[in-house]
Structure 1
Amino acid sequence: MNGKLVGGVIVLAALVTGISIYYLQVYAFYVQLDPAEVEIRMTGIASEEPEPILTDALQAIDGDSSPIRFRACFETGRSIAGLTEQFVIYDAADPLNAPEWFDCFDAREIGEALAAGDAIAFLGEKNIHDGVDRVVAVFDDGRAYAWHQLNETYQD
């Protein structure tokens, strides 16, 4: 009987720990941002400086625990042709997964569209945090997504 009690306590402790870790990773460290406080910028070819772009229906999340937790979904009224003439294209774009509850951002769909040429990635801001770039992907229909990813500073 004593072994069953100790085993039960161990299983209960493992279950509580697992649930806590899941909650912390998926919910606790993310904050939904006020669209009025988020400015999406892309680096201009001529100026080599980040320039604000038009956004509509912006949804964004971020977290203080990591510089790569930022994700955003929005619409832009600009065409891809116009954007490619004005802004720096980002060749190493690799969209990072967002929490399941932030359902407007689908990293797999974005990655497949980038690979197929249905979307183009642009450099939002170089080194927005040390060793982290903001990347903006724009689709033909005006949908756009932004995320942070490690740049060459921290890649092999």
Structure 2
Amino acid sequence: MTGKFVALVLLVSALVAGGALYYLQVYGFYAEVEPQPGRDVLLMPLQGDTPEPIAYADFVAIDADSSPIRYRACFTTTDPLDALRTHYVTLDLLSPRNAPGWFDCFDAAALGTALKDGSATAFLSAKNVRYGVDRIVAITEDGRGYVWHELNDCGAKAYDGTVVGEECPPLPDTTR
């Protein structure tokens, strides 16, 4: 009888721990981002190093302090995609990061397909929004827009333990 009780306690503990882990990964750390009109959607101009705002509406975003790459946002814009391509830095990214399933405006698979077939374009929004992390904006031909964070070369090196090198800015002091 004692063995069955111990097995039952272990099983219930594993289920509770698994449920808590799932909840924390998918829901627990995310929070809605408060919109900041005129500052939420920025693109890096071809001539210059200060991101510029574009016209946008219907902005919704989520973020989490637990990771610098959990930021996701969706918006709409009336700016023509061809005009944006001629004025702002474009990227050859074809694989946006997935968003939690409950953040249903951000469909990474559909966006990845649109980036591959050319019906969407990825733009650089800002370099190093956090150390080693760039903000990426993708806009489709029909004016739907998406934002996420992506590790840049320095971030990939810093987070995998490789020596960062002189081409990267100094690592932030994390001893505080």
**Normalising to structure 2: TM-score of the pair?**
0.85
Q: Which residue of 2 aligns with 1:32?
A: 32
Instruction: Judge conservation of contact 1:93–1:135 (CA < 8 Å) in 2.
Output: no
Higher relative CO (Cα under 8 Å, sequence separation at least 6) belongs to 1
**Normalising to structure 1: TM-score of the pair?**
0.95
Find the aligned partners of 2:40 and 2:114 in 1 and give their Cα distance.
24
Instruction: Judge conservation of contact 2:59–2:74 (CA < 8 Å) in 1.
Output: yes
Q: Which residue of 1 aligns with 2:71?
A: 70
Q: CA deviation at 1:155?
A: 3.4
Q: Which residue of 1 aligns with 2:60?
A: 59
The amino acid across from 2:119 in the alignment is: D
**Which sections of structure 2, spanning at least 5 residues, go unmatched?**
158-176
Question: Helix, strand or coil for the counterpart of 2:91?
Answer: coil
Q: CA deviation at 1:153?
A: 1.4
The amino acid across from 1:78 in the alignment is: D
Q: Which residue of 1 aligns with 2:122?
A: 121
Tell me whether 1:109 sits opposite 2:76 in the alignment: no
Q: Which residue of 2 aligns with 1:2?
A: 2
Q: How does 1:68-147 map to 2 (within 5 A)?
A: 68-147=69-148
Structure with the higher fraction of residues in strand conformation: 1
CA RMSD of aligned residues (A): 1.3
Percent of aligned positions with the same letter in both sequences?
A: 47
Q: CA deviation at 1:93?
A: 4.8
Instruction: Judge conservation of contact 2:132–2:156 (CA < 8 Å) in 1.
Output: no
